[in-house]
Structure 1
């Protein structure tokens, strides 16, 4: 929203930094903050599940509510457990889909501030172009990987959109909420990891913690396997992947860093 809204908006995120949005429950104080806003925007697809029950109440007060995922087609939405199952909400892991969300953000903001509609549309177009350019760049890099170097395990089931965008195969240790899979599913993941000689474990700091080594043992993954740790952090935090000085506190750079680290590790893992 900040990228699209620029100086015309003041953006406040309700979900605290380093919190798991799947488990976040808004407090009374946070709900009262929403009522002071001109527009309330959600990512959607069930990510903010604990807030969904409040949406009708918010709309009844006249507050403009926008859902970014509304811009997606059904074909673009991943439903891991079948067509009638709940959607995977992590669509921002595909930069091309998030570029579409930027356009949706411009529409939502313009509805609240019609006088700035052209400003929002121009910024959304510029930002979407940057995201599409980055997406194509990373697609080119991932195409360099051999068919045998496209397998990884993530701690948190959040990389399906990234994997689909770049033709990777992925399974996870815990589901999107950080909960254990049934024992039979864990056994299937262990067999899959052994069959494909998985070289990479992608760890997200919000999920796993002290249980990580135990789960790696369950999956027959030795602790010497490569671990990439992704930290959600404040804007201005610079890290270097294949590119120097990436501000991982901002979406575009954080996703680029994630893609570069996964790509380079898969490329060199033995």
Structure 2
């Protein structure tokens, strides 16, 4: 069913007759930019400013691993001048669509500037697969910002200087964010720097900021977990005397609750340390609805629970 859906959708995109994407902007002169996830869309807004009309396909609480494009999404993508996606198989169900679109317009993976040695392997997905959650290392996300800057400048050279200046200003804010995360995580005693979540999305975060990270599911939520996975993580909590685990806004919390209950039956009490934003940001208009706000929320929540 997935293959049929992708094929039909890709053909629908190719058949759509929208011409605005080839005319360098909409009626008010702005570039129409469509991004898959909110984290990318936020950077587009920061770098593009008033020169872009930015929109994201996936809002708060949406899991991009499982997302299927609707017919409305097809129109948004076809009408766009530029499309940004994460890549590294994050939007796995949309891969064929991107292949069709990139024949007609800039369709760019924001992970494209990263080198092999900067990426984590995802052995569960086979040889050559990588962990797509690059936004959890702020330094890596700075590279995504540079991809967006350069793509906007190339498509709209008249405003290139402004894109470059806005990107430079935003990159300074990301430098501050990276320093904030390091400083705050260092407040957690070393033996308590263990982050347990519903799925293994925080590997880059752990590497960058000094935490041991483990999750019930793998890096991709399409991989199902079973009773053995629950038992293994339960035993890990008990053996390491871990007092707090975390739920995620885009993953049902029942998965982690089963682990907590299992530990309780063994006489070990574990609490939910809070809700983290993993594959989606918070509601639009909220502090957590921005990339910087999302990262700060996660850092503060983790530190509060583990310190």
Q: TM-score range by the shorter chain?
A: 0.7 to 0.9
Counterpart in the other structure of 2:284 = 235
1:127 matches 2:176: no
Counterpart in the other structure of 2:294 = 254
Counterpart in the other structure of 1:196 = 240
Contact in 1 for aligned 2:197/2:256 (Cα 8 Å): no
Which of 196, 217, 224 is the matching residue for 2:261? Answer: 217
1:99-110 correspondence runs (5 A) = 99-110=142-153
Bigger relative contact order, structure 1 or 2 (CA pairs below 8 A, ≥6 apart): 2
| TM-score, normalization by structure 1 | 0.86
Change (3 A) 1:265 1:209: closer
Change (3 A) 1:184 1:212: closer
Alpha-carbon distance in 1 for matches of 2:217, 2:269: 18
1:77 matches 2:119: yes
Q: Which moved more, 1:212-221 or 1:137-146?
A: 212-221
Which of 149, 155, 169 is the matching residue for 1:112? Answer: 155
Alpha-carbon distance in 1 for matches of 2:272, 2:177: 25
| TM-score, normalization by structure 2 | 0.77
Alpha-carbon distance in 1 for matches of 2:257, 2:232: 18
Q: Which runs of 5+ in 1 are unaligned?
A: 238-246
Change (3 A) 1:150 1:164: same
Counterpart in the other structure of 2:136 = 93
Alpha-carbon distance in 2 for matches of 1:195, 1:210: 22
Q: How many residues matched?
A: 257
Alpha-carbon distance in 1 for matches of 2:225, 2:113: 31
Give how far 1:26 is off. Answer: 0.8
Secondary structure of 2:79's counterpart equals: coil
Alpha-carbon distance in 1 for matches of 2:263, 2:217: 12
Change (3 A) 1:130 1:147: same
Give how far 1:74 is off. Answer: 1.2
Give how far 1:223 is off. Answer: 6.0
Alpha-carbon distance in 1 for matches of 2:271, 2:118: 32
* Residue deviations 1:39-67 (CA, integer Å, cap 9, x gap): 1111111111111111221122x211111
Secondary structure of 1:10's counterpart equals: strand
Counterpart in the other structure of 1:240 = none
Give how far 1:224 is off. Answer: 4.7
Contact in 2 for aligned 1:22/1:48 (Cα 8 Å): yes
